[in-house]
Amino acid sequence: MTGQRILKVKFPADPRILRKVREHVRAACERGGCCEQVVSQIVLAVNEACSNIIRHAYKGSSTGEIILEIFNNGRELEFHLRDFAEPVDLTSIGPRDPREIKPGGLGTLFIREIMDDCAYGHVQGKAGNFLHMKKRIA
Amino acid sequence: MSYEVRDDSGYAVVELTGDVDLSASPEARSAILGCLAQARNVLVDLSRVTYIDSSGVASLVEGYQTAKKGRLRFGLIGVSEAALSVLKLARLDKVFPIHATINERIRADG
């Protein structure tokens, strides 16, 4: 049960649009009743997910599109991200070891640390990949 | 994001202002690594950073590692609440030398 949809945005896979996306996510989470700390963490996780799509699924090309939907069922917020890129190698997605000091893999680490659940996959029968993330709010 | 570089007490102080995200981190990275390439000690001032994501943090990690290899001094000063919470999440708040001000850093240098 995903609950009531509280946000749907479609935007180009362009890093310059991320600030606007963060504003949309922040506003939706505040409407959903999250406290400031949780809102900031969610904004970071969704930003990281979008950044990963831009960098790894679209490989930096800004011609692709991303759809973000947020659902609220009163107990948790659910975030659905979808792209239209070539299927990514799902086995290549993983956080870095937090004990390692290296630049890569931080985005996935943030998502895993912040969200209560996340699942990656390929959109069946169509081009693209999805990421579903859940965050408990009550 | 915007940035300024100034010389202060033997350091190149790279002051970042605004959101350091995927659209801005290449510029931040270039500013930090550019100073280190000139064999300058670097302090990154994060007091005016309103948001930083993993790409921004990665630029700081690269700076830290490059400085270490080149036996140069590197650190962060005036880390904003927004930036500190992300560094803590990355478990890097105990890795980077962090000081409130450049004077505090200079005192720590001895």
- Laid out side by side, the sheet with A65-72 consists of A4-12, A65-72, A76-83, A129-136, A117-122
Q: Determine contact, residues A65/A12, Cβ cutoff 8 Å.
A: yes
Give per-residue pLDDT as tens, B5-55: 999 999 999 999 999 999 999 999 999 999 999 999 999 999 999 999 999
Give pLDDT tens digits for A18-61: 999 999 999 999 998 899 999 999 999 999 999 999 999 999 88
DSSP state letter for B20: E
Judged by phi (left if over 0) then psi (alpha if -120 to 50, else beta), residue A98 lies in alpha
**Bridge partners for B8 per DSSP:** B11
Per-residue model confidence (pLDDT) at position A32: 87
Q: Is the backbone of residue B95 left (phi > 0), alpha (psi -120 to 50) or beta? A: alpha
Partners of A55 on chain B (C-beta within 8 Å) are: 22
> Is there a contact between B58 and A113 if contact means CB atoms under 8 Å apart?
no
The CATH number given to whatever domain includes residue B17 is 3.30.750.24
Residues in chain B within 8 Å Cβ distance of A47? 21, 53
Note whether B61 contacts A51, CB cutoff 8 Å: no
CB B40 within 8 A of CB B8: no
| Cα–Cα distances in angstroms (integers) from residue A134 to residues A52, A81, A111, B49, in the given order | 18, 12, 10, 28
Question: What does CATH list as the number for A4-136?
Answer: 3.30.565.10
B53 Cα to chain A: minimum distance (Å): 7
Select from A54, A101, A113 the Cβ nearest to the Cβ of B61. Answer: A101
Using a CB-CB cut-off of 8 Å, the residues of chain B touching A110 are: 54, 86, 89-90
Is residue B44, in this structure, part of any structural domain at all? yes
Q: Which of A16, A41, A47 lies closest to B53 in CB terms?
A: A47
Q: Does A33 touch chain B (CB under 8 A)?
A: no
Look up the domain containing B58 and give its range.
2-105
Q: A-chain residues within 8 Å CB-CB of B82?
A: 40
**A59 in contact with chain B, both atoms CB, cutoff 8 A:** no
The answer to whether residue A1 scores a pLDDT higher than 70 is no
Q: B51 in contact with A at a CB cutoff of 8 Å?
A: yes
Whether residue B6 is contained in a domain is answered as: yes
Determine whether the interchain pair A107/B65 forms a contact, defined as Cβ–Cβ distance below 8 Å. Answer: no
Instruction: Calculate how close chain A gets to B17, using CA atoms only, in Å.
Output: 14
Task: Single out the residue of B104, B101, B83 nearest to residue B92, CA to CA.
Answer: B83
Q: Which residues of B touch A18 (CB under 8 A)?
A: 21-23
Residue B110 domain flag? no
Domain count, chain B: 1
Given the structure tokens 């948001």, which residue do they identify?
Answer: B51
> Does B86 reach chain A within 8 Å, measured CB to CB?
yes
**Assigned token pair, B30:** 């270039």
Q: What is the ipTM of this complex?
A: 0.92
What residue segments make up the domains of chain A, in order of their start?
4-136
% of residues, chain A, pLDDT over 70 = 99
Mark B4-26 as b/e (b = at least 16 C-beta within 10 Å): eeeeeeebbbbbbeebbbbbbbe
Q: What is the mean pLDDT of chain A?
A: 93
Confidence of residue A127 (pLDDT cuts 50, 70, 90): confident
